[in-house]
Structure 1
């Protein structure tokens, strides 16, 4: 029969010892905690050699009394001593607020973390670019793997469905450029040079750049969300199981569609922006459309069109690969789909602007200015 927990106080040569007996467990501990609180003498030792069993509650009672009184615990077997040690290790003060880090150190740490993440992302994107090239090579070597239906469907998603919003945006941008340019040039009596401003900036820069930003927001985010959801639902793992390469089935059609459609969308956006600028010149500056078109043909060199058409497929490839890469990084939960989609848009727009700056310097260096 299990004996309830109990203890007795023994005075030996001026030292007080509490000798425990019975079972120091939740079911048998009884009023031992209250009696320990009532002990007024200074206790030097806690002798637990006579106990039958001790559980976490009993170990906590012994530890708390020993901590408050400074008494030494003796007589436990190895298992009971290990339990008491674990209770002692867990008895740590809880910090409601962590130590405040200096602002400079915190900002420096955040900058370092962001730099490391950016470098890792860049390295991952370069590796993904290599995997995409390998997938294209495999499709070229084995033409029966090419999925024409998937590419045509991406043509519709990337190109046809975007015509409305890109056309509206380009038209308004052309209006704004013409209006602001006319206001500034009017100060010098050079309103007619508004045509030069609209024609060169739309064909050379803004037509393709704004189209790339819109495609990144529409199609890049869609690519990341679609592939991320497929990764989350293990559809991509299932494709690998049945011998279908996700790179060939998912990434190649999207990249190919973006590369082919971006030059067409960029040229379309430039034309609509020129129409918007021409409309404002007609209304505000009384420049007839025929004069506007003739002046555009005179002042816009063919190299401006070439520059836009060269940049467009590169921007399309960057946007598609950023979206597909971020979608492939989804791993654990649905929240990552949203965060990776956001990362895909931000990454694509950032890389497009960086590459646009590089192209601007490069084409000026070779004399296409």
Structure 2
């Protein structure tokens, strides 16, 4: 084996010692062989030191003594390499093998050694089968739906309790807030509701005329438009539009207050957030949605009447006479009776999602989206159930 020797330098005081690159040499000329550590073991010489420690790895055993008398500067990077080179057993015997090693260097080595020994490589989580992942996600979704349903039912009970409690105390009614929300949710939404239902009525009449023309029954297009808008389309389109427009606005308004801790300030003042923020919005939507539903019914029928007058040569007078002869008032009532229910649920969902917001803008956006999705879902499901119920009842 080639003999590796360590050159002896002239002794100088620590204050004037020049910066020397650290070295790790295995001296086989002495008996027994020695591992000599010298120079500065610092980050500046890390690459060279790493190459030397990798080369020496496996060329000596635990019985080889270590000479660290010429070790100069030492930092965390160099100490980590020394820990890898010397191992745990030698570091435990530093007081015997390197009695002249400064206490600071000894403490640094022992600290690095303890940190490396305590470190545990992260254990990779076992892979889960795709089927189990699918079932897990379905279970989480079902649990979330159940939890949200219970929260909504509890919140609805709280709203009803507050309304009943304040029903005989007119001084606690916040009519200014109610009228402001009626303007925002009802008056401002009337143009878009009227335009949307007018166009949908025209489309329904056009499609109905196209299909019924094959059977020579285009005159029944009037009944198709009237039945569809009085019973279903008028209230359904209005509720869906307000679910996207109003429920999101309620969630964003209350959610911003929740994020800015204004809700906590209201409670600190001894006021009820439900009475102050929720009840006026619910009452406003209870007024706005039935009115908008009536507007939607009229606009949809007018849209169908325009198509009938242009494409089917059914005059407005004939159109109105067919409506009066074939369409009973119960169809109008079936559509109108669903409007307050939809209004209450849309307002309750929008306000509840606002109270769920945490202190971040991302949470406001997430719960605003959730309120729109939940409102539309609830409206469509309840409308389908109501349609089946009225059909079975013969109404």
The aligned runs of 1:187-206 (5 Å cut-off) are 187-206=214-233
Specify the alignment match of 2:259 in structure 1.
232
Note the C-alpha offset of 1:323: 0.9
TM-score, normalising length from structure 2? 0.78
Task: Say which of 33, 40, 64 aligns to 2:84.
Answer: 64
Specify the alignment match of 2:296 in structure 1.
269
Task: Say which of 235, 244, 266 aligns to 1:217.
Answer: 244
- Pairing 1:42–2:60 present: yes
CA distance in structure 1 between the aligned counterparts of 2:339 and 2:351, rounded to whole angstroms: 18
Specify the alignment match of 1:169 in structure 2.
196
The number of equivalent residue pairs is 362
CA distance in structure 1 between the aligned counterparts of 2:160 and 2:76, rounded to whole angstroms: 61
- Backbone CA RMSD of aligned residues: 3.9
Note the C-alpha offset of 1:37: 3.8
C-alpha distance 280-329 of structure 1, shift in aligned 2 (>3 A): same
Structure 1 counterpart SS, 2:215 = coil
Note the C-alpha offset of 1:89: 5.1
Specify the alignment match of 1:315 in structure 2.
342
CA distance in structure 2 between the aligned counterparts of 1:150 and 1:366, rounded to whole angstroms: 40
Note the C-alpha offset of 1:137: 2.9
CA distance in structure 2 between the aligned counterparts of 1:323 and 1:304, rounded to whole angstroms: 29
After superposition, the C-alpha distances for 1:4-32 in whole angstroms (9 at most, x for unaligned) are 99989799xx9988698999887999986
CA distance in structure 2 between the aligned counterparts of 1:29 and 1:146, rounded to whole angstroms: 76
Specify the alignment match of 1:291 in structure 2.
318
Specify the alignment match of 2:6 in structure 1.
none
CA distance in structure 2 between the aligned counterparts of 1:15 and 1:204, rounded to whole angstroms: 102
- Pairing 1:128–2:148 present: no
Note the C-alpha offset of 1:195: 0.9
CA distance in structure 2 between the aligned counterparts of 1:166 and 1:102, rounded to whole angstroms: 49
For structure 1, which segment, 239-248 or 158-167, has the greater mean C-alpha deviation from structure 2 after superposition?
239-248
For structure 1, which segment, 121-130 or 148-157, has the greater mean C-alpha deviation from structure 2 after superposition?
121-130
The aligned runs of 1:61-140 (5 Å cut-off) are 61-65=81-85, 74-75=92-93, 84-88=113-117, 90=119, 92=121, 103-140=130-167
For structure 1, which segment, 18-27 or 275-284, has the greater mean C-alpha deviation from structure 2 after superposition?
18-27
2:24–2:52 contact (8 Å) kept in structure 1: no
TM-score, normalising length from structure 1? 0.83
C-alpha distance 169-19 of structure 1, shift in aligned 2 (>3 A): same
CA distance in structure 1 between the aligned counterparts of 2:32 and 2:153, rounded to whole angstroms: 74
CA distance in structure 1 between the aligned counterparts of 2:33 and 2:321, rounded to whole angstroms: 110
CA distance in structure 1 between the aligned counterparts of 2:288 and 2:190, rounded to whole angstroms: 11
CA distance in structure 2 between the aligned counterparts of 1:190 and 1:201, rounded to whole angstroms: 17
Structure 2 counterpart SS, 1:159 = helix
Q: Which runs of 5+ in 2 are unaligned?
A: 1-12, 95-105
CA distance in structure 2 between the aligned counterparts of 1:65 and 1:215, rounded to whole angstroms: 72
CA distance in structure 2 between the aligned counterparts of 1:170 and 1:144, rounded to whole angstroms: 39
Specify the alignment match of 1:256 in structure 2.
283
After superposition, the C-alpha distances for 1:64-109 in whole angstroms (9 at most, x for unaligned) are 3368xx97753489997675343345474899xx987654444333
For structure 1, which segment, 22-31 or 199-208, has the greater mean C-alpha deviation from structure 2 after superposition?
22-31
The aligned runs of 1:14-29 (5 Å cut-off) are none
Note the C-alpha offset of 1:363: 1.6
